[in-house]
Amino acid sequence: MKNDTSEKIIAFIEKNNQVTPKELVDYLGITKQAIFRQLSKLIENQTIFKSGKPPKVFYFINKIKKDKAFSINGASSKSSADNITLERNIIQEIENNYLIITPSGEKKEGLIGFTYWCEKNNLPLEKTADEYIQTLDKYAKFKKDNLIDGTQKIKNTFSKSYLDHLFYLDFYSLERFGKTKLGQFLLYAKQSQDKKLIQELSTTIKPRIDSIILANKIDGVGFIPSTVKREVQFMKELERILQLNLRKISISKIKNDISVPQKTLNKLEDRIENADKTIIVKKGQTFINILLIDDAVGSGATLNQTAKKIRTMEICSGKIIGLAITGSFKGFDVISEV
């Protein structure tokens, strides 16, 4: 039951569409601390939401109703108003796997995000949740030890594969449900150049990268450089945050008159030419087993051509393993957003 102060806050936001904390303090004549206590409770029960970062923060009425009660502690979760039942294992899977970034830039994870997406698209929650789990199960068949083996894709795509193995940490997207959790993280971390988001992504994937290094006795690592110049370069930040205790292979990218990102090329032969003529591997140290890290794999041309240069220069005497944060499912998909 809302108290008098929270009712006044709601009415004031409804009247003005959006308000700042200062406007609420001036209107109600109470302390900032008291205002924030009320706002926190209203956000928690999803009556309102906030947007922005200090010093520019605004509060809005949550127009998407959140009157469904869910819990992952019991065997199921029910809402008598909507007669919805979600089994505990379904809720847990959604909590672990779902993330959506809203058009306004809010990060909504788990069941809250999934409910938001269903309501926005006028989809029945219970039925859609079942279908989402079925889709996850379909793609889970391609995972082993929490990795997706894309080695066969490389062998099927190119006349010769110079990678001994190719792994993805996840697919970039799933049919109907769009980008995966890692896909969302990767897209917006790169596009927004948000160091906090890059930090969150890097921290999430580091344990799995460490496991690959240990399992394959990796003694050298190379990071595929970015093509598009940005103030915050994703791969540079990733390298800095991961702090892999390995010797580094020097890989750079030539800057010509016009930078042509791989994602803009639709033909496989063009992608091979692009990688072959712009990726430079510097000869120096030699390694036994090398890990090449890229952000996303569409065709795999960049990783394969980089591995070819390493082989040709006899820098590696053992295995070359490619690793992408996300990859495409089919033999040759273009991941055009990342």
Q: Which domains does the chain have, with CATH numbers?
A: 4-61 (1.10.10.10), 76-140 (no CATH), 143-327 (3.40.50)
Contact 48, 11 (CB under 8 A): no
pLDDT in the model for residue 112:
86
Q: Is the pLDDT of residue 48 over 80?
A: yes
Geometric angle at alpha carbon 272, from 269 and 276, rounded to 5°: 140
* Start-to-end Cα distance in the chain: 46
Contact 201, 186 (CB under 8 A): yes
Residues in CB range of 258: below 8 A, 6 or more apart: none
Beta strands in 172-272 (DSSP E): 173-174, 178-179, 220-223, 247-248, 251-253
pLDDT in the model for residue 94:
92
**Span 178-203, mean pLDDT?**
91
pTM, to two decimals? 0.75
Q: Could you read off the pLDDT of 62-84 as tens digits, one per residue?
A: 765 544 444 444 444 444 334 45
Q: Is the pLDDT of residue 212 over 90?
A: yes
| Nearest to 30, CA basis, from 56, 63, 8 | 8
pLDDT in the model for residue 266:
79
Q: Is the pLDDT of residue 337 over 80?
A: no
Token duo for residue 78: 């029910």
More confident residue, 75 or 138: 138
Token duo for residue 169: 């940490």
Token duo for residue 288: 């036994």
Please tell me the distance from the alpha carbon of residue 208 to that of residue 195, in angstroms, as a whole number: 21
Q: Is the pLDDT of residue 202 over 90?
A: yes
Residues in CB range of 295: below 8 A, 6 or more apart: 186, 190, 224, 234, 235, 238, 324, 325, 326, 338
